Structure 1
Amino acid sequence: MNKPPITELIQSHRSTRTFKNIEIPRDIVKEIIVSAQWAPTSHNVQAYSIISITNQELRGDLANLCGNQKYVKEAPIFFVFVADFYPHSLVSQWEETPFEMEETENLIVGAVDTALAAQNALLTARAYELGGVMIGGIRNRAQEVAALLNLPKWTFPVMGLCLGYPQDVTEQKPRFPFYGVHHEDCYNRENIISALNEYDKDMLHYYSTRQVNPKYTGWITQMTNYLSSPRRQELTMFLKNQGFQMK
Structure 2
Amino acid sequence: MIQIADHRVHRRYSDRPVEPDLIRLICALALSAPSKSDLQQRDIVVVTDPALRRRIAAFLPHMPWVREAPAFLVFCANGARLPEIARMRGKPFANDHLDLFFNATADAAIALATAIRAAEAMGLGCCPISEIRNNARDVSDWLALPERVIPFAGFCLGWPADAGQISPRLPLATTVHEDRYGCTTLATDLAAYDRRRRAQQPYPEQRNTARWGEAVDYGWSEDKARQYAEPQRTEFGAFVRQRGFRLD
- Would you say 1:77 and 2:77 are equivalent positions? no
Q: Which residue of the partner structure matches residue 3 of structure 1?
A: none
- Would you say 1:23 and 2:17 are equivalent positions? yes
- Would you say 1:226 and 2:220 are equivalent positions? no
Match of 2:107 among 113, 119, 138: 113
Match of 2:91 among 94, 97, 122: 97
Counterpart residue type for residue 187 of structure 1: Y
Contact 1:67 1:137 in 2 (8 A): no
Distance 1:65 1:137 in 2: 10
1:65: Cα distance to partner? 3.2
Q: Which runs of 5+ in 2 are unaligned?
A: 207-216
1:223: Cα distance to partner? 1.5
Contact 1:36 1:117 in 2 (8 A): yes
C-alpha RMSD over aligned residues: 1.7
Distance 1:41 1:136 in 2: 21
The DSSP-based 3-state class of the residue aligned with 1:133 is strand
Range that drifts further, 19-28 or 39-48: 19-28
CA pair 82-66 structure 1, distance change in 2 beyond 3 A: farther
Match of 2:147 among 153, 160, 170: 153
The DSSP-based 3-state class of the residue aligned with 1:190 is coil
The DSSP-based 3-state class of the residue aligned with 1:137 is helix
Q: Which runs of 5+ in 1 are unaligned?
A: 1-6
The DSSP-based 3-state class of the residue aligned with 1:98 is coil
Range that drifts further, 44-53 or 69-78: 69-78
1:19: Cα distance to partner? 0.4
- Would you say 1:187 and 2:187 are equivalent positions? no
Instruction: Provide TM-score, normalisation by structure 2.
Output: 0.90
The ranges of structure 1 where at least 4 consecutive aligned residues each deviate by more than 6 angstroms after the TM superposition are none
CA pair 68-227 structure 1, distance change in 2 beyond 3 A: closer
Q: Which residue of the partner structure matches residue 63 of structure 1?
A: 57
Counterpart residue type for residue 125 of structure 1: A
Q: Percent identity over the alignment?
A: 28
Instruction: Provide TM-score, normalisation by structure 1.
Output: 0.90
1:72: Cα distance to partner? 1.2
1:178: Cα distance to partner? 2.0
Counterpart residue type for residue 220 of structure 1: S
Distance 1:66 1:244 in 2: 26
- Aligned residue pairs total 238
Contact 1:16 1:170 in 2 (8 A): yes
1:148: Cα distance to partner? 0.3
Deviations 1:195-234 (A, max 9, x none): 11111222233343x7xx3656211211211222321111
Contact 2:173 2:183 in 1 (8 A): no
CA pair 102-68 structure 1, distance change in 2 beyond 3 A: farther
